Amino acid sequence: MSDDQKKPFDFMGFRKIASAISIFLVVASIALLGVRGLNFGMDFTGGTSVELEYAKAPQLDQVRSRLTEAGYDQFVVQNFGADTIVLVRLSEAGNDQLAQEITDVLEASGDKLELISSEFVGSQVGDELKEESGLGLLLALVVVLIYVGMRFQFKFGIASVVPLAHDVIIVLGFFALFQWTFDLTVLAALLAIIGYSLNDTIVVADRIRENFRKIRVGESWDIINESIHQTIARTINTSGTTLVVLLALYFLGGEAINNFALALIIGVVVGTYSSIYVSANLLMVMGVSREDLMVPAKEGAADSEEEEQPPEWLNRM
């Protein structure tokens, strides 16, 4: 039996279960953001960044231990570009002596190192970054709504923007739950997630629109199932290869990009799910129909156009 003769997997048959899962995850994420909040990094809270170069690559755990013994409690230590370069980020306000104090503490253990640079980010700058990053995310969603509404139809615009907000909220919920550091790299990951999820959603939406115009037999439920069935292989292959790269970044890329890779890993998994279930589910709820997507026929062209024959399984229903 060919693919056109086989009835596709009933994706929409699980839409109520998928809706319950999505609502639970979104509500739980919003609650976590309200109760625990995000663990903002120095980019948003302000603090001091000290860059040091060692003669030979140090053990980062030992560097952290020495700073803890010296009385520093809120800091991040990571490699920066090379194994011999260490970036120490502290929540303390910067002053002329702080960078030299850090250098002296680490040199006291016998390691040879050199202070490359130090810089201070004020809390006011961090507050501005919070506001601007939030506005940036909202603006991205509004632009997507306008684009998809013009490219397809307004119902498709809603069914594209809601999954993007769904994906971002759930990723933020994970960061609030585990108190992973939220910095500018994670913000960049959120914007990348919006782009990735949107691309996946548009592929499915384009096939749904195409099938509504070509297949003149069957209910919306059947046509959406058929469209997802036709695109699922592409979706899985794209997500799978993307995850392989992200896992490599997470395990091999070093601490500096761990949270960036982690946010993208969660976003790709959730985004793949939402492009199948959240987006298509919303189209079902809003009652998308063939009439919403039909192109007005030109005079004299209606009789000459040939309709695509529906899959055999639809004819037998």
Which carries the bigger pLDDT value, residue 258 or residue 291?
Answer: 258
Is the predicted pLDDT of residue 215 greater than 90, yes or no? no
pLDDT of 309: 55
Which CATH number characterizes residue 253's domain? 1.20.1640.10
Residue 303 domain-assigned (yes or no): no
Average pLDDT, the chain: 83
User: What is the CA 130 to chain-centroid distance, rounded?
Assistant: 18
On whether both 139 and 262 belong to a single domain, the answer is yes
pLDDT of 311: 62
On whether both 141 and 106 belong to a single domain, the answer is no
Q: Are 145 and 161 in contact (CB under 8 A)?
A: yes
Q: What would the two tokens of residue 298 be? A: 């030109």
Is the predicted pLDDT of residue 199 greater than 60, yes or no? yes
Q: Which residues form the domain of 103?
A: 49-121
- Name the β-bridge partners of 135: none
Across 93-107, 110-124, 241-255, the highest mean pLDDT is recorded for: 241-255
On whether both 114 and 177 belong to a single domain, the answer is no
Please state the pTM of the whole predicted model.
0.80
Specify the range with the lowest mean pLDDT, choosing from 2-11, 33-42, 156-165, 234-243: 2-11
Q: Are 159 and 284 in contact (CB under 8 A)?
A: no
Q: Are 170 and 270 in contact (CB under 8 A)?
A: yes
pLDDT tens for 118-163 read 888 766 656 777 778 788 888 888 888 888 778 777 888 888 888 9
On whether both 28 and 176 belong to a single domain, the answer is yes
On whether both 54 and 108 belong to a single domain, the answer is yes
On whether both 102 and 142 belong to a single domain, the answer is no
On whether both 64 and 129 belong to a single domain, the answer is no
Of 233, 227, 170, nearest to 21 by C-alpha is 170
Residue 309 domain-assigned (yes or no): no
On whether both 142 and 69 belong to a single domain, the answer is no
